[in-house]
Structure formats: C-alpha cells, structure tokens
A and B are shown apart, each in its own frame.
Chain A
Amino acid sequence: MSFIELTDVHQAYGHKRVLNDIDLRIREGEFTTIVGPTGCGKSTMLRLILGSEQPVRGSVTIEGTPVTGIHRDRGIVFQQYGLFPNLTVLENIMFGPVHERHSFVGGIIGRAIIKLRRGAECWLGKRVGNLLPKGPLYAIEEQALEYLNRIGLSEADAGKYPFELSGGMRQRVAIASAAIMKPKVFLMDEPFGALDAVTRQKMQQFILELHQKYQMTIFFVTHELREALFLGTRVIALSQYYKTDNGGEPGTQGSKIISDFPLQRTSTLDEKYSPELNAIEKQLMEDLDGSKKKYIGDFHLTHPDSFRTVDAAEWRRTS
C-alpha cells in the first residue's frame, strides 16, 4: 500500500471545477514536485493533502487513514506569510513544540521567562542571564537554537523579528519552524517564488539536504520547471488544458494530472542540466503548452506508481 493515496479526487468551488478526477499514489520519502499553469489547482491539491479543506468527491488517505483535518504530522510552508510577524525568530521556531507540549498558560509563562532572560543577557551580559531561571521551555529553546544553527543563522539573529530578515532567511526560518515538528509530510507552496536566483539556488540545496537527512515525504509546488526537475524524485504536471471525448472546456472541466515522470535525484548543480533532465523538461514544456491540448489518452504518465481511473464519457476511443 502506498503512503499517500488520492483516489478520484474532485474539487470545486461553487460552479467552478478545479480538480477533475485526480488519482495519485505516493511512496514514503518521495519528493514530488508539482508544476502547472497559474490557477490550475496546485495549491488546492496541497490544501487537500494538508486537510485544511475536503474534496467534494473522492478520498485522500495517508497510511490508510482518511485526511479529515489539519494535523501536526503535516507541515506547510507558503510563499508568503510563513512567519508570525509578532514573534522573534526564536519564538517562531519554538512555536510548534511549545504549543504541542505546553498548555495555554504554561506557554505564555515560559515565553515570558525566556524573553526576560534573553533581555537581561542582552543588556546586562551573559553572566546575569545565567543567574535567571531557565523556565519550562528550556529544552525547546535549546532545540530551536540547534535548528537556527542548522539553517545558517547565528544566535544573534534569534531575537530579530521577521521584518528584519531578508526574504531567503525568512523562508529558512519558516522551513525550520515546520521542520522542528518532524512532520511525516512536508508541503511547500512556491516557497522560493519571491527569491532572487542566487538565494533560490542556495535554498534548493538546503531543502535537498533536509530531504536527504530526514527522508520525509515532500510535495513541492513551483512554476519553475528547472527547479521542479532538480529537486524532485518525481514530477507531476497539473493542467486544465486537455481534450476529452465529452468536449469539456478548459476553465469548466477542472485539472487533471497530464504528466507524471520519475526523476533521477541530482545532487550536484552540474547534473541540473543533464541530458535526461533536458529531455523531460522539453516534454513537460510541450505537455503544458495550452495551445496544443493533449488528448486524455495521450498523457505522459510514465512513473511506475502512476495510475488512473477514467470516466467512460471522457475516454470513449480505444486505440
């Protein structure tokens, strides 16, 4: 049995159909990148896996259990709004463990103690700080500092607020604050979309290291094909531009998975431009070209785990 299964998933908002009959099986540890035109439902698909909304038809299961709501085992990083603006970097990273392990009041008191101690350290020196009580959140604080180091920030950054960080640092902290929960499934919705090319490349390497270390199952939405190919172990393309036998129109028919390729994991930047990846990129470009709509029978679903059930009305021809 697969780790994550989407079966006959349909999603619609009012009369607007967004996802049309999505079938997907994902193995544990897979790094799935999702590409597709704007508005094709990539974020919607992530929300369904996250559990923040439910499909109108079909089912989403993880390890055989239906997804009915948000769960601490599934973490998410958005392109924007990744951090709580009123909390410092350290508090942002600590947020998850504190709220999971401590009560409402316990969390407030623990945070206040840390704030007091760190304030004293800042103004009066480390020795005075050491005299103050560690508080109930000390273990979490240590753990958060470890993550802070791992994402390449120093302890001096711990007390900064998100607005004082660069875009890349902010996304690092957002990733750390989700990663500290050690989620089984890690969802990322265009996390590097707002970053410049160089920062973006660094973040890509960072996320690869993270995946190699923890082997979590990752879904990564991006509109950069290169990024999708470089990061993923599997790439899927969603699109509303395809042809079926019941003559649905794009925009009313909802998106399907039109391509599904396995990817060789590339770990060095040179392999980012390997001939295999170039070939897949060319194919994806063609598949995603909205002016050359693919017939439902001609989708490129070459990944060994790929499967689908088709609607008889949509695919009558058998060739």
Chain B
Amino acid sequence: MAHFVQLLTSFTCNVATYLSRIFGMDGKTTRTWKLVLSWLPIILLAGWYTTTAYHRTEENPDEKLTPTPTKVYEAFQRYALEPDKAGDYRLWKDVRASGERFLWALPWLFLAALVGLHMGLYQWVEDLSLRSLTVVDKIPPILLLALIFVVLGTGDIAKVAIIVITVFPTIALDTQLITKSFPKELRIKAKTLGASNAEITYLVVFKNIFPRVLHVFRSSLKAIFLALLAAEAVVSAVGIGYRTFYVQRFSAVDVILVYVITATLALVTIDLSIRWYVRLRYKWLDK
C-alpha cells in the first residue's frame, strides 16, 4: 500500500513538472502540443456549430439561420459550379470584380509608399503633406462613401477611390516612420561614396525599406477590403460585398457563408504570399 502511494506521488510530481514546463510562464510547448493547441479552438468551434446546425435543421427543415455544412456546400455548388440564368458563375464573377478593383488600387498604394519615402527624407515634402495626411487619415471612410458616390459616380472608379483614400494616408505615414528609422549613417556613407540624392533615395533607402513597406501593406489588407466591400454593399451590381448583402435580404446564410469563406481564404492567401515572398527575396531583413 505504502509502495503504491509512493508511486502515485512520484507520478503526480512528474506530471506536474511536465505540465509546468509546458503551461508555466516561459514554458515551451512541443511540436505535438503546438499542433493540438492551435487546432483546438477551430475544431471546437466547427464541432459546436455543426451539431447545433444539424439539431436545429432536424427540428425545422426550413431553418435558414444555421445552415448545415451540407447546405453550405450546396450553396457553393449553385454559385460556383453552375451558371445562373444569365450563364454566369456568380461566385467567380464576384471574386473577379472585387479582385480587379483591388488591383486597380495597388499602383496608388505604391505611390503612397513613395510619398512616405520622400516625407521621411525631404523636409519640404513632410511640411507639405504631414498635416493633411494626418487629418485625412482620421476621416471615417464609411462616411466618405456618400460623398465619393456623389462626386465620382457609383462606378468602379469610386470604389477604387474609397480604397485609396482609406489606406493611402496610413501607408504613407507608416512608410515615413520606417524611412526615418533607416540609419542616417548609411545615408552619410552613401554620400561619401559619391551617390547622388536620387540614388540614395531610391537605391539605398527605398530598396532597404521596401520589405518593411510590404509588411505595412499586409497589415492594411483588412482596411482595404473593409472599404471595398462596404462600397460594394452600398452600390454595385457585382462583387463579393454586393452579393453578400444582396442575399442577406433573403436570409440566405448558406450563401453568405460561402462568400465569407471565399473572401477569408483570398485574404489569407494574399497575406501569406507576401510573407513568403519577403522571407525568400529579402533574407537579409531584420538580421
């Protein structure tokens, strides 16, 4: 009996040590634990949703608010794999329309980075733009929507404009900060080595900060899509934002979920691609 108690205590002790090594402060999780912990919330959520959905559908077959995964897949089939009356595959048509608007905004956002670069290096550019950008940065873009639709019409130009107005100041201001944190010593060195102002601006500073600017862009993705989808929801005939809000009128949660999942996957893909690109292309970054 005593032997058994001793065994039990030592076992409890070992388990306690093991657990504190993982769950204590500054603990280190193993690979397996990492995998388990990172998937746990997702699996729990998915499991909870699925069971609720099936229960509710069993009680009421016309239940719309919590479609079962099967129903969501059927909605996906209808929207992505079968043409509608006009012969369009609606999901892809919408993704394409939103994607094109997003792409049209990119050159302007590159311009924002250039503006920030010059703000960080040339005092007069900073004087010229810092105050205005700081103010514009604070305008709630949703309110601007009305104004932009009045001024620029309700076409694609307005939607690109709303993206640009929303994130241009953020990107420019962040780029300015990054530019300012670039060591002055390196600029001085470049000058002693005979580089011109243009060469220092674009070949030394910009090339060095560009990967960081990409990270800024990555973190503005959410704001970009918030602005775009809101604009599409208000007035549009095609686009992810448009369709989602259109089917919302019929409480078609299954279709909404299809679009939510699609948009989320698209954003994750863009985000990860940029991260991988930066890691591969700029291996000297942050070293």
Contact = CB atoms under 8 A, between A and B. Distances in A.
Contacts of A86: 207-208, 282, 284
A206 interface: no
B25 to A, nearest CB: 32
Given A71-B192, A96-B193, A81 B185 contact: yes
Given A80-B185, A85-B284, A104-B203, A99 B193 contact: yes
Interface string A150-192: 0000000000011100000000000001100101000000000
A163 B202 CA distance: 22
Contacts, number: 74
Interface string A66-89: 000011101110101110111000
Interface in A56-72: 70-72
Given A84-B204, A99-B199, A107-B203, A161 B284 contact: yes
A144 interface: no
Nearest to B204: A84
A50 B184 CA distance: 14
B287 interface: yes
A178 B284 contact: no
A50 B185 CA distance: 12
A161 B202 CA distance: 20
B189 A100 contact: no
A52 interface: yes
Interface residues of A, number: 29
B196 A104 contact: yes
Nearest to B282: A86
A248 to B, nearest CB: 30
Interface string A24-46: 00000000000000000000000
Contact of A162 (B188, B203, B282, B284): B284
Contacts of B183: 80-81
A183 B194 CA distance: 11
A96 B191 CA distance: 9
Contacts of A52: 188, 191
B195 A84 contact: no
A95 interface: yes
Given A95-B190, A108-B203, 4 more contacts: A78-B185, A84-B190, A99-B194, A163-B284
Interface of A: 50, 52, 70-72, 74-76, 78, 80-82, 84-86, 95-96, 99-100, 104, 107-108, 161-163, 177-178, 181, 183
| Shortest Cβ-Cβ A-B pairs, 3 listed | A163-B287, A96-B193, A100-B194
